[in-house]
């Protein structure tokens, strides 16, 4: 397959070629450089595998991996590829086992990925002699599953195929780490549930979506109508030194009010002034102590950790959103809604209720899946064209307002460097 050539119209990244989203070879190069080398990828929460033997099947990039908890309580991440004939032997999404057995020839592995059993390794005894079997110098120690490097922090598990990757903390950088530690501050996490969706668009569009503070107050009429996200709220956009990760921080109530009645919202016009919720409990928002950061109480912090994950706090709804690419034109998007072990029953209910705003059919985020799909359709039909990313100027830098596309420009600055494009 021939590549669509990349033509940058300008020095910087304020005009992003559609060809960045349309090419399978380029996509494979992205997987190598972003997902399989020099980067940490999200794999899950410790709370998903609380007991020895627990496992969860997931992916790093497009490679199938299994996150396990071994008998000694340690977390391991191994590739789901049998050392024998390469089969993806683990088919369940979650479970508990004391070993993994590949169904093809029943090679068995420990939860750490060590090869422990090879049927007929020493052949079969027939007519007084031994026939077949593995060569005498075959050593199971040389044929374990590929083990990834693992890092955990605040109950979140990351893995990397690259054992020379920098520390997770250096990877995030101090600015993003501060927001990460605010959300994952050591409290025990509780998994509330999952959403899975397939979005027929390039995976980078999801990163862009959460680096784009321009759209929530315009596309998401639900947000605007009920005052949850407003362009004139007090806000901050923050990045790591490479401009690959970001945090969009917004403090509700600093401009308009979320009251469950649209007409009480001022300044920024509402979609439908008189619209009211049949069930106002969706807006039963209770500030929590952990929101506090310096002199602020941010009610929404959307973190993008490049390339694999988004960490969401939208009022009382907290979740991880895992980006799982599948070719250049699609990705699976997996939401893990969670809460905290010390939540009151009321807060538990509140988080569940507010999670209805998110996920594939969420009142808010259903919109994002659609706009990504329709963007991808245009890229495929017009690969020589480009998009405009010029809001807030053409350069890259942190801001204290939302009316800018600087985080997207920053991400593509990093992308150009790593992809040498």
Q: CA nearest 30: which of 327, 242, 305?
A: 327
368 makes contact with Fe ion (CB under 5 A)? yes
Report the site for Fe ion in 27-46 (rule: CB under 5 A).
none
Number of Cα atoms under 13 Å in the Cβ half of residue 1: 10
Q: Which is nearer to Fe ion, 30 or 368 (CB)?
A: 368
The span from the CA of 176 to the CA of 170, in Å, is: 10
> Can you name the residues that pair with 248 across neighbouring β-strands?
237, 302
Bin 135: left if φ > 0, else alpha if -120 < ψ < 50, else beta: beta
Provide the 10 A C-beta neighbour count for residue 226. Answer: 28
Q: Does 208 bind Fe ion (CB under 5 A)?
A: no
- Which C-beta is closer to Fe ion: that of 208 or that of 343? 208
Count CB neighbours of 163 within 10 A: 8
Q: On the CB side of 348, how many CA atoms lie within 13 Å of its CA?
A: 11
Least Å from the CB of residue 168 to Fe ion: 27
- Quote the least distance from Cβ 365 to Fe ion, whole Å: 6
Stretch of residues binding Fe ion (CB under 5 A), selected from 22-30, 134-142, 272-280, 363-371:
363-371
d(CA 395, CA 116): 55
Distance of CA 247 to the CA centre of its chain: 14
Rg (CA), the chain: 24
Least distance to Fe ion, CB of residue 389, Å: 16
Tell me the helices (H) and strands (E) count for the chain, helix number first: 8, 21
Instruction: Say if residues 31 and 325 touch (Cβ distance below 8 Å).
Output: yes
Q: Where are the alpha helices (DSSP H) in 244-364?
A: 345-354
Please, which residue, 286 or 403, has the CB nearer to Fe ion? 403
CA distances from 276 to 262, 280, 421 (A): 7, 8, 49
**Residue 177: partners with Cβ closer than 8 Å, 6 or more residues away:** 169
CA–CA gap between residue 350 and residue 348 (Å, rounded)? 5
Q: Which is nearer to Fe ion, 236 or 368 (CB)?
A: 368
Cβ nearer to Fe ion, comparing 49 with 231: 231
Q: Which is nearer to Fe ion, 216 or 260 (CB)?
A: 216
Q: Which stretch binds Fe ion (CB under 5 A): 108-116, 188-196, 284-292, 361-369?
A: 361-369
Judged by DSSP in three states, 197 sits in strand
Question: Which range binds Fe ion by CB under 5 A, 42-50, 122-130, 362-370, 375-383?
Answer: 362-370
Among the candidate windows 309-317, 334-342, 360-368, 401-409, which touches Fe ion by CB under 5 A? 360-368
By the rule CB under 5 A, 405 interacts with Fe ion:
no
Span of 38-46, 52-60, 364-372, 391-399 interacting with Fe ion by CB under 5 A:
364-372
Question: Whose Cβ is closer to Fe ion: residue 110's or residue 375's?
Answer: 375
Two tokens at 77?
């991440």
Least distance in Å: CB of 402 to Fe ion?
12
- Which residue, 79 or 208, is less far from Fe ion as judged by CB? 208
Cβ closer to Fe ion: 79 or 368? 368
Q: Which residue of this chain has its Cβ atom nearest to Fe ion in the complex?
A: 368
Task: Quote the least distance from Cβ 327 to Fe ion, whole Å.
Answer: 23
Give the contacts of 345 (CB within 8 A, at least 6 positions apart). Answer: none
Closest distance between Fe ion and the C-beta of residue 229, in Å? 9
Compute how many residues bind Fe ion; rule: CB under 5 A: 1
Closest approach, Cβ 203 to Fe ion, in A, equals: 16
CB of 370 to Fe ion, least distance (A): 10
Stretch that binds Fe ion, among 9-17, 30-38, 319-327, 366-374 (CB under 5 A): 366-374
Residues within the interface to Fe ion (CB under 5 A): 368
């Amino acid at each position: 397959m021939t590549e669509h050539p990349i033509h940058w119209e300008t020095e910087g990244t304020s005009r992003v070629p559609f060809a960045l989203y349309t090419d399978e070879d380029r996509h494979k190069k992205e997987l190598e450089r972003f997902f399989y080398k020099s980067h940490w990828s999200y794999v899950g929460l410790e709370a998903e595998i609380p007991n020895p033997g627990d496992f969860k099947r997931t992916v790093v990039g497009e490679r199938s991996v299994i996150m396990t908890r071994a008998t000694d309580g340690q977390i391991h991440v191994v590739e789901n590829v049998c050392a024998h004939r390469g089969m993806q032997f683990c088919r369940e999404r979650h479970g508990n086992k004391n070993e993994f057995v590949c169904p093809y020839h029943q090679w068995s592995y420990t939860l750490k990925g060590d090869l422990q059993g090879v049927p007929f390794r020493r052949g079969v005894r027939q007519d007084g002699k031994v026939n077949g079997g593995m060569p005498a110098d075959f050593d199971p120690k040389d044929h374990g599953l590929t083990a990834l490097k693992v890092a955990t922090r605040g109950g979140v598990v990351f893995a990397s195929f690259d054992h020379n990757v920098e520390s997770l903390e250096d990877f995030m950088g101090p600015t993003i780490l501060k927001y990460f530690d605010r959300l994952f501050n050591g409290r025990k996490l509780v998994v509330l549930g999952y959403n899975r969706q397939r979005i027929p668009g390039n995976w980078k569009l999801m990163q862009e979506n959460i680096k784009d503070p321009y759209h929530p107050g315009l596309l998401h009429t639900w947000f605007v109508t009920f005052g949850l996200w407003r362009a004139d709220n007090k806000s901050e956009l923050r990045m790591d030194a490479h401009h690959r990760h970001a945090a969009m921080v917004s403090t509700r109530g600093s401009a308009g009010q979320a009251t469950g009645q649209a007409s009480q919202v001022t300044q920024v016009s509402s979609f439908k002034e008189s619209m009211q919720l049949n069930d106002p409990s969706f807006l039963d928002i209770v500030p929590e102590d952990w929101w506090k950061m310096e002199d602020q109480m941010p009610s929404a912090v959307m973190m993008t950790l490049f390339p694999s994950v988004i960490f969401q706090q939208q009022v009382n709804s907290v979740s991880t959103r895992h980006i799982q690419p599948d070719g250049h034109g699609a990705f699976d998007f997996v939401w893990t809604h969670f809460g905290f072990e010390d939540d009151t029953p009321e807060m538990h209910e509140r988080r569940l209720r507010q999670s209805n705003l998110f996920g594939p059919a969420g009142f808010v985020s259903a919109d994002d899946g659609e706009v990504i799909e329709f963007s991808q359709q245009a890229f495929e039909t017009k690969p020589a064209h480009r998009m405009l990313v010029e809001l807030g100027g053409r350069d890259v830098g942190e801001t204290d307002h939302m009316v800018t596309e600087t985080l997207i420009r920053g991400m593509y600055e990093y992308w150009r460097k790593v992809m040498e494009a």
